[in-house]
Amino acid sequence: MKVRNWMLAVAVVGGVTTAILAQEKGGNDETGPYEVVPNWPQPLHQDYSWGRTAAIWAESPDRVFVFQSGELPILKRPIAAGGVPIRAAASENNGPDGCECPVSKSEAGRPGRWEHILMIFNREGKLIESWEQHNKRFVRPHSVKVSPYDPERHVWLVEDGAHMIYKFTNDGKKLVMSVGEFRVPGNDRNHFNRPTDIAFLPNGDFLVTDGYVNTRVVKFNKDGKYLLEWGKPGKSAPGEFNTVHGVAVDAQQRVYVSDRGNSRIQVFDQTGKHLDTWPNLRFPLSVGMSKDQHLWVNDGLAQKFLKFDLNGRLLYSWGTFGGEPGQLWGTHAFSIDSEGNLYTAEVWGGRPQKFRPKKGADPSKLIGALLNTTTN
């Protein structure tokens, strides 16, 4: 049967009949087992594009959170021939105090817009909610998550510019917890200095990577009470960090930390005891633990998704650099919905994207359900 130039062949190995997916002729298999969904999400304003898109979280196919730095004017020439980006407006910082983007202003003649910071889209890419009432709390969005162990599905936001962790009701109507002090950096039990990510444990405890300036992982209980921390500045020894950028937890409650500036993943138990180090990852931007117990990493220099077993062995990779639909440019976060669709957030490309599995795709090459996802 032929589907979009793909062929399903049948092989008999050891008496077992197996379907084998034959690749189409030509091409670089740029998007791996996925195909990009065109025009997702739908644009919000004419002549404006997404800002620095830091975070995305698929609570369901019809409720996808996007956390980004407002909107920026579309440049006249953001992409060169062949789809290679020259420079995206998103590479410049847009914030509540104004857009620090002189090139964008001079080329587009318009400032950035500090609006549509936390948005929710449905499966067609239509905006269904925008938490404009909370824009004053945001400075430089970084991460959005929902704990899989929380029946009320509170929404957690990591705000690195504000040095804050926020916990909202699922509808965004109430802020139920905040950790840190707004726009006051620090390195103690009550302050962060540009935190980056959050992960959850079954008992309600949570871990915060802190982050761009501080070099530590901080553990809190479900009520936001400080429990412990680990990490110090450094370039090589176990427990030393240089930009603590992402965190994921496996089924055994081992903690996988993206030590981005040191080009490695470090593995710890939940008390901070060092267990392992995976070197040579170049620039691990985002990490996610799948329910089948593989760590998926997006490398911001290779512009690829990397699949590792929990011993740190690379099993598979896909992706290519570029600004065209389906290409990757700084995938800062990713999420999977209950239908297996992949969502990405690009800080340098300045956009969210949605990918769906190709028909007949090898299941072992799909990212699959993430351990920290409520709907899978």
The answer to whether residue 17 is domain-embedded is no
The answer to whether residue 3 is domain-embedded is no
The answer to whether residue 172 is domain-embedded is yes
pLDDT band at 96 (very low <50, low <70, confident <90, very high): confident
Q: Are 305 and 318 in contact (CB under 8 A)?
A: yes
Give the count of domains, the chain.
1
The answer to whether residue 338 is domain-embedded is yes
The answer to whether residue 93 is domain-embedded is yes
Q: Which domain holds residue 136?
A: 30-365
DSSP 213-276: SS-EEEEE-TT--EEEEE-EE-SSSTTEESSEEEEEE-TT--EEEEEGGGTEEEEE-TT--EEE
CATH number at residue 112: 2.120.10.30
The answer to whether residue 370 is domain-embedded is no
Phi, psi at 83, each rounded to 5°: 85, 10
The answer to whether residue 237 is domain-embedded is yes
pLDDT band at 85 (very low <50, low <70, confident <90, very high): low
Q: Give tens-digit pLDDT for 190-247.
A: 999 999 999 999 999 999 999 999 999 999 999 999 999 999 999 999 999 999 999 9
The answer to whether residue 344 is domain-embedded is yes
Q: Give tens-digit pLDDT for 326-369.
A: 999 999 999 999 999 999 999 988 899 999 999 999 999 999 88
Q: Are 224 and 179 in contact (CB under 8 A)?
A: yes
